[in-house]
C-alpha cells in the first residue's frame, strides 16, 4: 500500500470510534511493580491498609501514569498496529497532546479502551495519526483516562 492509498483509507476512518478493547485487570501487583519502576511509592498507591482507612477511594488506586502506560496495548487492539498496514515499515509513538485522568482506577479494577481517529496528516516518509483514546474502568461512569495520542507510520 502506498502512502497516498493509506492516507485515503485513513481519511475515511476520521471520526469513527473503534473498540472497546478487551478488559485488562489492574491489580495491586501491577501497581507495586509500576511504583518500583518509577520510584513513585506514594501511600495512596502501595499502602493497602492505609489506603483503606485514609483514602477517599477506600482502596489503593493505580498511578495515572500507569493507566496511561496501558494505552499502547489497549489502543493497538482497537485501532490496529502499524503492521496491519501493508507497506508500513515502522510505527512510532510521537507523543501526546492532551491527557486527563477524570476518575481513579482502584486496585483490582478492570479497564478497557476505545479509540477515535481525529486527525491524519502527511509527514516526510509517512503519515501522522492523532487518536483520542478513552480508557474506562468497569462499573464507573467517568473514564479514568482520556488522551490524544500521536503516532507516526513510516514507509519502506
User: For residues 119 and 117, what is the distance between their CA atoms, to the nearest angstrom?
Assistant: 6
Mean pLDDT for the stretch of residues 124-148: 95
Q: What percent of the chain has pLDDT over 70?
A: 96
* Structural domains of the chain, count: 1
What integer best gives the mean pLDDT of the chain?
91
How is residue 132 written as a grid cell?
Answer: 483520542
pTM value?
0.89
Q: What was the pLDDT predicted at 80?
A: 60
Rounded to the nearest 5 degrees, what angle is found at the Cα of 30, between the Cα atoms of 34 and 105? 90
Express each pLDDT in 52-99 by its tens digit: 999 999 999 999 999 999 998 898 777 765 456 777 888 899 999 999
| Boundaries of domain holding 82 | 3-155
Q: What was the pLDDT predicted at 46?
A: 98
CATH number of residue 91's parent domain? 3.10.129.10
User: For residues 101 and 3, what is the distance between their CA atoms, to the nearest angstrom?
Assistant: 35
Residue with more model confidence, 4 or 16:
16
List the end-to-end C-alpha distance of the chain, in Å, as a whole number.
10
Residues 6+ apart with CB under 8 A from 58: 51, 52
Amino acid at each position: 500500500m502506498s502512502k497516498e492509498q493509506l492516507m485515503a483509507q485513513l481519511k475515511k476512518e476520521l471520526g469513527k470510534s473503534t473498540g472497546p478493547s478487551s478488559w485488562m485487570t489492574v491489580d495491586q501487583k501491577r501497581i507495586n511493580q509500576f511504583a518500583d519502576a518509577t520510584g513513585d511509592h506514594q501511600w495512596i498507591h502501595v499502602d493497602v491498609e492505609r489506603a483503606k482507612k485514609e483514602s477517599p477511594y477506600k482502596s489503593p488506586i493505580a498511578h495515572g501514569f500507569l493507566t496511561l502506560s496501558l494505552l499502547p496495548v489497549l489502543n493497538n487492539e482497537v485501532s490496529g498496529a502499524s503492521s496491519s498496514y501493508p507497506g508500513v515499515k515502522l510505527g512510532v509513538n510521537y507523543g501526546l497532546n492532551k491527557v486527563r485522568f477524570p476518575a481513579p482506577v482502584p486496585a483490582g479494577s478492570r479497564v478497557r479502551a476505545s479509540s477515535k481517529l481525529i486527525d491524519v496528516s502527511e509527514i516526510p516518509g509517512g503519515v501522522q495519526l492523532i487518536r483520542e483514546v478513552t480508557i474506562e474502568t468497569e462499573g464507573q461512569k467517568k473514564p479514568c483516562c482520556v488522551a490524544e495520542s500521536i503516532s507516526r507510520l513510516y514507509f519502506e
